[in-house]
Amino acid sequence: MSVNTLLGLLSSALLCTAQVITSDPLIKDPGVYGPPLELVHLYYDEFPTGIAVSSTGRMFSNYPGGLDKNDTNNGSNGKYTIAELVSNTTETPYPSAEINNPPGGAINYTTYPPSAANYQNYFIGSQSIVIDPADRAWVLDTGRVQSPNGTLVPASYGGPKLVGINLNNNTIFKTIVFPTTVAYSDSYLNDVRFDLRANLSGTSGQGVAYITDSSSEGRNGLIVADLGTGNSWRHLDGSPTVHPVQQWLAYLWGMPLYGTNVGRPFSYLAFGSDGIALSADGETLYWKAVSSRYLYSIPTVRLRDNSATSELMAQGAINNHGETGITDGMETDTNGFIYHGNMEQNGISFFNPANGSDTIFVRDPRINWVDTMSTTTNGYLYFTVNQLTFGPATYPGTDRRKRPFALFRVPLANNATRPLLI
Ligand SMILES: *[C@@H]1O[C@H](CO)[C@@H](O)[C@H](O)[C@H]1NC(C)=O
Ligand SMILES: *[C@@H]1O[C@H](CO)[C@@H](O)[C@H](O)[C@H]1NC(C)=O
Ligand SMILES: *[C@@H]1O[C@H](CO)[C@@H](O)[C@H](O)[C@H]1NC(C)=O
Ligand SMILES: *[C@@H]1O[C@H](CO)[C@@H](O)[C@H](O)[C@H]1NC(C)=O
Ligand SMILES: *[C@@H]1O[C@H](CO)[C@@H](O)[C@H](O)[C@H]1NC(C)=O
Ligand SMILES: *[C@@H]1O[C@H](CO)[C@@H](O)[C@H](O)[C@H]1NC(C)=O
Ligand SMILES: *[C@@H]1O[C@H](CO)[C@@H](O)[C@H](O)[C@H]1NC(C)=O
Ligand SMILES: *[C@@H]1O[C@H](CO)[C@@H](O)[C@H](O)[C@H]1NC(C)=O
Ligand SMILES: *[C@@H]1O[C@H](CO)[C@@H](O)[C@H](O)[C@H]1NC(C)=O
C-alpha cells in the first residue's frame, strides 16, 4: 500500500468519525460590565430626556417638545415640560401645572410660518433641568417645540431662558432671558453646568452657567451666563469642535442612525455641541457634539472672558482628547472622571484627565440611548435611557419606541461623590 493510499484511508476514517461542533467553546460578547444597574423610575407618560437629583433625593425630569411633538403643549392637552418624579412610575408638573401651560399653547400660529410662543413667565420647551451646587434647580428652556407635523418651530425672544427655582418653597427666584444675539431663533439650548464660586475671574461673584447650543440647523456654540448680572455671551461659533461631523453615521442596537426631515428625503443626523461637564475643580469645561465621536475641552477662564480678543483666545485654547464614542449627556465626580454615554457599546464610559484615556464604566443590554446624567452627593450616577433614536426622527421614520422609558443609577467609581463648586 502506497503512502498516498494509506493517507486517503486515514482521512476517510477521520471524516466518518467527524465530531458535531457547537459554538460552546467560542468566546462571545458578555454584554454586561461594571456595577449592576439599579432601576429607579419608569416613565409611562411623556418622553423624558434629563434627570436632576437634589441633595435630599428629590428627582426632576424634563420632557422636550423640541424632540417629541407629543410633548408639545397645545393649550389644552395638559402636557408639561418639567416634572417632579413623585413615585416609581408617576410624575407631576413642576413647579406648577400653570407654568407648564402657556396660554394658547407653546406655538404662536399668528406668525407665518408658526413660531414658538414668547412667554418669559411660562415654560415653552425645556431641554434640561439641573441642580446647582447650592441645591437650587435651574430649568433651561430652549424655547422651541415641534408642531403637529414634526417641524421644529423657531424660537421667539422670551422663550429661550434659564429659570432658577428654590427647592425649599418651589418658587422662581431668577429668570435670565437670552437676547436674540445669544440664543438665535434657530438655536437649541441643550444642557447646562454651574460654578458658583465667588472668586471666578470676569464675573459678578454670584456664579456662572455654561450652556451648549446643539442646534441641528448649523449655528452651534457655547454660551456663558453670569448668574448675578444676567448677562450672557457666546463663544466658539463656527469652530468645527462644536459642529456635527459631516456625513456622520452611528449604529444603535445594530440599526443605522440616518435622520428624517419633514417633507424632505432622509439625511445625516447633525446634532452639535450637547453633552457638557465641568472638571472637578471647575477650571476646565468638557463637551461633545452628538454627531461626532470627539471629546474637547477648554480652560473655563477662556469662556468667561468676553473682551475684544477673547474669541481668538478661546478658539486657540481648545484641546482635542480624541474619539470617545457616541455621547449625549456628561457628568463629573470627585475622582475627576468625566462620565459620558457610549451608546454604540450599550454603555457608559469615563474619560480620566489624569491619564488622558477613556474607559468603559458600565455596559448592559437594557442601555440604548443614554440621555442625561446626574451625579449625586450620596455617590451615585443617575441616567435616563429613553430610546431617543427609535423615535420618528431617525430612519425609517416610524415610531419604534416602547413605553416605559427608564431611569437607572449606579454607584460612582471608588466611592466618589458629586463635586460642589461653591
Ligand atoms: C403621547 O403621550 C402619551 C402620554 O402623554 C402616551 O400615552 C402616548 O403613547 C404618546 N404617543 C406617542 C405616539 O408617543
Ligand atoms: C390639543 O391636543 C388635544 C389632544 O391631542 C386635542 O384633542 C386638541 O384638539 C388639541 N387642541 C388644539 C388647539 O390643537
Ligand atoms: C419603589 O417605591 C418604593 C416605595 O417608595 C421603594 O421602597 C422602592 O425601592 C422603589 N423602587 C422600586 C424599583 O421598586
Ligand atoms: C405671537 O406673535 C405676534 C406677532 O409677532 C406677537 O405680537 C405676539 O405677542 C405673539 N404671541 C405669543 C404668545 O408668542
Ligand atoms: C423662598 O425661600 C427663599 C429662601 O430659601 C426666600 O428667599 C424666598 O423669599 C422664598 N419665596 C417665597 C415666595 O416664599
Ligand atoms: C476660589 O474659591 C474657592 C472656594 O470657593 C477656593 O477653593 C479657591 O482656592 C479660590 N481660588 C482663588 C484663586 O482664590
Ligand atoms: C408642517 O408644519 C409647519 C408649521 O409648523 C408648516 O410651515 C409646514 O408647511 C408643514 N410642512 C408639511 C410638509 O406639511
Ligand atoms: C486611566 O485611568 C483609569 C482610572 O484609574 C483606568 O481605569 C484606566 O485603565 C487608565 N487607562 C490607561 C490606558 O491606563
Ligand atoms: C467603598 O466603601 C465601602 C464601604 O462603604 C468599602 O468597603 C470599599 O472598600 C470602598 N471602596 C473603595 C474603592 O474605596
Q: What is the overall mean pLDDT for the chain?
A: 95
Q: Give residue-wise pLDDT tens across range 382-416.
A: 999 999 999 998 999 999 999 999 999 999 999 99
- The pTM for the full model equals 0.94
Q: 422: CA distance to ligand 9 center in Å?
A: 26
Residue 17 pLDDT > 80, yes or no? no
Q: What does the pLDDT look like over 188-227, one tens digit per residue? A: 999 999 999 999 998 999 999 999 999 999 899 999 999 9
pLDDT for residue 14 is more than 70 = no
In-domain check, residue 21: no
* Any ligand 2 atom below 6 A from CB of 77: yes
Is residue 215 one of the residues assigned to a domain? yes
Query: Residue 13: pLDDT above 80?
Result: no
What is the distance between the alpha carbons of residues 125 and 117, in angstroms, rounded to a whole number? 10
- Per-residue pLDDT, 100: 98
Task: Tell me the three cell numbers of residue 407.
Answer: 431611569
pLDDT tens digits for range 121-152: 999 999 999 999 999 999 999 999 999 999 99
Of residues 242, 332, 232, the one with CA closest to residue 278: 332
**Helix locations, 316-419, DSSP H:** none
Please state the φ and ψ torsions of residue 69, each to the nearest 5 degrees: -60, -20
Identify whether the C-beta of residue 67 lies closer than 8 Å to the C-beta of residue 49.
yes
Residue to probe by mutation, ligand 6, list 195, 199, 304, most atoms within 8 Å of CB: 199
Nearest residue by C-alpha to atom 2 in ligand 9 = 415
Task: Name residue 332's beta-bridge partners.
Answer: 338
Question: Residue 80 pLDDT > 70, yes or no?
Answer: yes
Instruction: Quote the domain boundaries for residue 277.
Output: 40-415
Residue 114 lies in a domain: yes
Q: So what's the pLDDT on residue 122?
A: 98
- Mean per-residue pLDDT, 165-193: 98
The DSSP-derived string for 202-259 is: TS-SS-EEEEEE--TTS--EEEEEETTT--EEEE-TT-TTTSPPTT---EETTEE-EE
Tell me the three cell numbers of residue 280. Answer: 472637578
Q: Can you spell out the DSSP letters for 95-124?
A: S-TTTTS-TT-SEETTSSS-EE---SSS--
| Residue-level pLDDT at 7 | 52
Ligand nearest the Cα atom of residue 112:
7
92 CB within 6 A, ligand 5: no
14: in domain: no
Q: Is 109 in the pocket of ligand 2 (CB under 6 A)?
A: no
162, amino acid identity: L
Query: Mean pLDDT, to the nearest integer, of 41-65?
Result: 98
Q: How much is the pLDDT for 41? A: 98
Residue 276 located in a structural domain: yes
Q: Which ligand is the nearest neighbour of the Cα of 412?
A: 9
364 CA to centre of ligand 9 in angstroms: 23
The pLDDT assigned to 2 comes to: 58
- Ligand with the closest atom to the CA of 167: 5
CATH number, domain containing residue 409: 2.120.10.30
- Atom 9 in ligand 6: residue holding the nearest Cα: 199
Tell me, yes or no, whether 296 lies in a domain: yes
**Which among 151, 150, 304 has a CA at the least distance from the CA of 226?**
304
24 assigned to some structural domain = no
Per-residue pLDDT tens digits for 251-297: 999 999 999 988 899 999 999 999 999 999 999 999 999 999 999 99
Residue 19 lies inside a defined structural domain of this protein: no
pLDDT at 333: 98
Does the beta carbon of 170 sit less than 6 angstroms from any atom of ligand 9? no
User: Rounded distance, CA 46 to CA 48, Å?
Assistant: 6
Which pLDDT value is given to residue 316? 98
Residues with CB under 6 A from ligand 3: 39, 88
Domain total in the chain: 1
Q: How many CA atoms lie within 13 A of 25 on its CB side?
A: 3
**Ligand 2 centroid from CA 148, angstroms:** 10
